[in-house]
Structure 1
Amino acid sequence: MIASPTPDAIAAAVAALQQTQLIGLPTETVYGLAADALQAEAVAKIFERKGRPADHPLIVHVADEAGAAHFAADMPAFAAALMEAFWPGPLTLIVPRRPGVADTAAAGQDTIGLRCPSHPVAQQILRACHDANPPVWGVAAPSANRFGRVSPTTAAHVAQEFGDDLLVIDGGPCDVGIESTIVDCSRGQPVLLRPGHIGAAKIAQVTGMQVLDPHTAVALLDQQEPKAPGTLTAHYAPSATVRLMAASDIAAALGVLGEQAKHIAVYARSPMENASGDVLLRRMPQSPEAVAHELFSVLRECDAQGVKLIWIEAVPSDAAWDGVRDRLQRAAASA
C-alpha cells in the first residue's frame, strides 16, 4: 500500500516497525526496505523478502549522530569529521560495532554501516521512531528491490517489486538516484568501498587523509576489508542485457539493424539516429548528477517496454562520473 506521508501514515509506519514488520522508506538516494535494526526477526524478513544472502550486511539508518552511538563501539575522529560535514546526506560510514548489537543486520561482522538520510520524510519517520515507546533506534534499510536488481527511486517501483501488502511511504522521486557513498572508517584510514554522490576528493578534503581504494587498502594496511552492500561485481541489473559501448560503435550498429531493432534500447549522450524507428532511444543528460537521478528509472522503463538489449554510451573517465560508472559497470557485468 502506497501512502502519503501524513501524520497517521508515519505513525502506522512506526507501529509496523515496532511489530517486526517491513516498510518502504523514501531516502534521497533510493527507496529502502526497512526493519527495526535491533530486532533480529524483523531484519531476517528483509533478507527473505529480497532474496538476499544472509552474509551480506545491511546499512542502518539513524536520525542523527546520537542515534549512531547506539550502534557504534567507537567513532574514529576522521569518521566524526565526515559525519559533521555530510550528515544528513548520502554517505555511509563503516565503523566498529558494539558487541551484541544489530548482529543480524551486520551479518555477524564486527563492523556496521551507518547512515543518516537527508530526505525529510525519512527524517520524520526516524525521529518518530526515536520518540516511540518502545523506541526504534535505527532501521536496517537496503534498497527495496529483489537482490541484485535495479534499485527503486519511486514508491511505485517498490510496489512493483513487492506488491500491495507492503506499506510504502511515498516521498516522491529520489533526488540523488543512486545509492550512498560507502567509506570504511574501521581501519585507521578512509577506504572508499562504493563511490557515490560524495566523491573521494571531498572525503580527503574533510579528513585531511589519503582516501584508499579497497585493493590498495588490503595491501597497505594488511587487513581484509569488511563486506559492504552494493559491492558485488554484478549488481543493479535490469532484466535486459546491458552493454557499455563507445558512441561511434553504437552509431555504427544502429545503421545495420534489422528485425532485432524492436528489442533494443539506446541510452547515450551523443545524438543518435534511429533509422528503423523501432529502437527505444533515450538521451542521456550531460551532467553526472542528472544521469544518477534518472539512471535506475531509465533501466526500469526499458524493462517495462520489453527491451532485451540496452546499449549505453560509456561515460567519461573523470572522478565526477565515478558513482554512475560504478553502477553501469556492475549492471553490465550481469550479462
Structure 2
Amino acid sequence: MIPPLAPTFDAALRDVRAQQARFRAAAAERLSDPPADQRDEAVQGLLALAEDPDGAVRATAFESLGILEAQQGASLLREAFEDEHAAARQAAVLALGRVAPEQGIDAIAGLIDDPRPEMRFSAVWTLSTLGASHANAIAAALQDEDPEVRLLAAQCLGDLGASDQADAIARLLDDDSDEVRFGAGAALAALDDSRGAPTLRAALSRVDRAFPAAIGLGDLEDQQSRIELMRLAKHRWRSPIVRAAAARALVRLGEPEGTEVIRKLVRSWRIEARQYAVELVGELGLTSLVPDLARAFRRSRKAERPVYETTLEQLAPDSPEAKALLASIRASDHPR
C-alpha cells in the first residue's frame, strides 16, 4: 500500500477524524510542525489523536506532542505509560521528558525498576536526554537483566561524560553478552579510560564494529593498535568511512600515513566518505590539506558547502589559506 502524501496543515486538522488510521497517523505527524499562529489548534488535534483507537496513531501523536513541548498533554502522557501498545508506551515516556522534564522526572526515573524491559530502555534513553545530572539513575540500569538495557545505559553514560561511573561500566567488560562487553569498551574510551582497549582492538576485524572501535582507540591514542589501524586504513576493500576512522586514529597517534589516507578520501567520489573526510580535516587541524579542500570544493555539490565552511572555520585561525578560501566561498554566496 502506498503511504499517503503528507497533508497540508489544514488537511491534517480535518484528518484528525478521518476514517482510515493511515490518514490519522499522517495527520498526527504533520501537526508536529504547525504555522506559528496555529499551534493551539495543532495541540488540540494531537490531544484528540492521543486517544485514538489505533496504537500506531497514538504513538505518533505522543511523539508530536513531545516535539511541540505541549504541556497540556503531560497528564495524558503519564497515563499512557500503561498503554496497551508498546510503541505508544515508549513514545509517551520520551515525550513526557520533553513536555514536562521537571514534573515528570520522578515518573520517568521510576521506570528503571519497571517489569517491562522496553519501558526501562525508554527510561534510560529519556534520562540521558535530560542531562548528566541523571547519571546515577542511569547507572542503576547497568545491572539490568536485559542486555539491551545494560548496553544502552553504558552508551549513555559514555556520551554524558560520566567519569564517576567508569568503574561500574568497566564491570561490564566481563558481561555475558558480547554486545554489552563491546559497548562497555566503547563507553570507557569515550571517558578516556583505557580498560576497554583490548576489547576494542579485538573488534577492529569485525565489519560491524570496526568504525566505533577505531574511534575509541583513536580517542585513547592506543599505541598497541597502531599496526592494525594502519592495515585497516589502507585496506582497499573496506568501507571508506571505516578507513577514515582508522586514519583519524593514526593522526592522533602521530602517524603521517593517517593524513595521507584522509587526503585521498577528501577526493573520493563517494559523497559520504568525502564529507566525513572533510569533517576530519577540521577536527584534526590538518592545515596541510587546505589545497586538497579547495580542489574538492570546486567539484562538490551545493548541499556539501556547510561541511566545508565548518571545517574552514576550524582551520582559519591557524591557516591564512583556509581563511582566504572561506572568505572566497562566502563571497560567492553573496555576489555584489
Q: Which one has a larger percent helix, Structure 1 or Structure 2?
A: 2
Q: RCO greater where, 1 or 2, for CA within 8 Å and sep 6 or more?
A: 1
Q: Same fold (TM over 0.5)?
A: no
Q: Which one has a larger percent strand, Structure 1 or Structure 2?
A: 1
**Which protein has the larger Cα radius of gyration, Structure 1 or Structure 2?**
2
TM-score under structure 1 length normalisation: 0.33
TM-score under structure 2 length normalisation: 0.33
